[in-house]
């Protein structure tokens, strides 16, 4: 087990973007507050601007929740891109620089190597994204507090309980669901990385695109495209369950702080789509291990 953790640490050392990328995002966010690029209120047109403190408490909570979740989503989006390209390059890079010859000379199995890279993509990167998202929300709250204090707006606070709880709930739900839901996508990218003689991006992207276009032309349907799109946006279902009709009549209001986390996660983790995806991930990983074991190391 200790050897497996050392393999994961090796991945983190060799792929500095895993922890450098969120630091850059947080630094940019902090710089934006320091330089005044991000400001709190007034809202609306210049002729009818409304200070943040003059908004109704419900409006303040809704606005803060959107801001907190929005900045957390930026961190998750950046880390999602990092995970995508890391998975694509994970096994191909070893063959490209021929370091695979060195690693195969060590008493390490192909399964250990592939699984350590897989664990880095589906466990380490989401956890780093979780920490980065929480820090981003903290920076927004602290920066907003300072700016509101400087503007002396009455009845304004960025530390509203519903907004904070809802935002934290959103980032934990996103992290807890992404790990298993995106496992088959990561495994598929790693299989493409192990197989591709050159250009793993094309080997990974072209097959589903070609199948989708072929289905559209021949059958006139879009099941493949819908399947891929649904797989990408799957975890957002839990957040969508936090959209409740507003009896006040102003449309829908985000009530993420009211999500029953236990019930939502129970429904999500009992869905057949999730566990069929996990089975598919296992089969794809087995294929990646087999390809890495028997593929010519010099191509």
Buried b (16+ CB within 10 A) or exposed e, 106-142: eeeebebbbbbbbbbbbebbbebbbbbbbbbbebbbe
pLDDT greater at residue 99 or residue 222: 222
Predicted model pTM: 0.82
Domain assignment present for residue 299? The answer is no
Tokens of 11: 């991945």
Q: How far apart are the first and last CA of the chain?
A: 31
Alpha-helix residue ranges (DSSP H) falling in the chain? 2-14, 17-35, 57-89, 92-96, 100-105, 110-119, 125-151, 161-181, 183-195, 200-218, 223-232, 236-240, 261-269, 272-294
pLDDT greater at residue 288 or residue 98: 288
Domain assignment present for residue 129? The answer is yes
- DSSP annotation of 186 reads H
Q: How confident is the model at residue 191 (pLDDT cuts 50, 70, 90)?
A: very high
What pLDDT is recorded for position 249?
42
Q: Which of 202-216, 217-231, 242-256, 274-288 reaches the highest mean pLDDT?
A: 274-288
Domain assignment present for residue 215? The answer is yes
pLDDT greater at residue 172 or residue 62: 172
Domain assignment present for residue 235? The answer is yes
**At 258, is the secondary structure helix, strand, or coil?**
helix
Per-residue pLDDT of 7-50, as tens digits, reads 888 888 888 888 899 899 889 888 877 776 655 554 444 444 55
**Of the candidates 28, 65, 37, 10, the residue with the CA atom closest to the CA atom of residue 242:** 65
Per-residue pLDDT of 105-119, as tens digits, reads 666 677 888 898 999
Query: How far from the centroid of its chain's Cα atoms is residue 206's Cα?
Result: 23
Domain assignment present for residue 178? The answer is yes
Mark residue 268 as left, alpha or beta (left: phi above 0; alpha: psi -120 to 50; beta: remaining): alpha
Domain count, the chain: 1
Percentage of the chain modeled with pLDDT above 90? 18
Domain assignment present for residue 224? The answer is yes
What pLDDT is recorded for position 229?
79
Q: How confident is the model at residue 166 (pLDDT cuts 50, 70, 90)?
A: confident
Decide if pLDDT at 66 tops 70: yes
**At 253, is the secondary structure helix, strand, or coil?**
strand
What pLDDT is recorded for position 86?
92
Tokens of 118: 């897989």
Instruction: Count other Cβ atoms within 10 Å, centred on residue 196.
Output: 19
Residue 255 is part of which domain span?
2-294
Query: In whole angstroms, what is the distance from residue 256 CA to residue 114 CA?
Result: 37
Q: Please name the residues in contact with 168: beta carbons below 8 A apart, sequence gap of 6 or more.
A: 134, 137
One-letter-per-residue 3-state SS of 144-179: HHHHHHHHCCCCCCCCCHHHHHHHHHHHHHHHHHHH
């Amino acid at each position: 087990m200790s050897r497996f953790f050392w393999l994961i640490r090796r991945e983190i050392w060799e792929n500095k973007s895993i922890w450098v990328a969120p630091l850059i995002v947080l630094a940019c966010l902090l710089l934006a507050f320091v330089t005044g690029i991000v400001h709190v209120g007034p809202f609306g047109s210049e002729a009818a601007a409304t200070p943040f403190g003059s908004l109704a408490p419900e409006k303040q909570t809704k606005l803060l929740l959107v801001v907190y979740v929005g900045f957390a989503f930026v961190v998750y989006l950046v880390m999602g891109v990092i995970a995508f390209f890391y998975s694509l390059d994970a096994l191909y890079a070893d063959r490209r620089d021929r370091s695979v010859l060195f690693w195969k000379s060590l008493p390490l199995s192909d399964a250990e190597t592939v699984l350590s890279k897989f664990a880095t993509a589906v466990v380490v990167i989401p956890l780093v994204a979780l920490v980065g998202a929480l820090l981003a929300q903290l920076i927004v709250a602290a920066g907003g507090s300072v700016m509101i204090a400087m503007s002396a707006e009455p009845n304004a606070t960025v530390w509203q309980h519903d907004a904070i709880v809802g935002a934290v709930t959103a980032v934990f739900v996103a992290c807890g669901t992404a790990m298993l839901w995106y496992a088959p996508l990561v495994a598929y990218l790693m299989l493409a990385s192990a197989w591709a003689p050159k250009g793993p991006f094309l080997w990974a992207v072209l097959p589903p695109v070609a199948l989708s276009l072929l289905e559209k032309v021949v059958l006139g349907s879009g099941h493949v495209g819908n399947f891929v799109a649904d797989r990408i946006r799957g975890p957002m279902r839990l957040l969508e369950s936090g959209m409740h009709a507003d009896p006040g009549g102003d449309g829908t209001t985000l009530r993420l702080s009211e999500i029953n986390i236990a019930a939502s996660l129970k429904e999500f983790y009992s869905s057949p789509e999730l566990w069929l995806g996990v089975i598919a991930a296992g089969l794809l990983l087995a294929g990646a291990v087999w390809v890495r074991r028997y593929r010519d190391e010099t191509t």
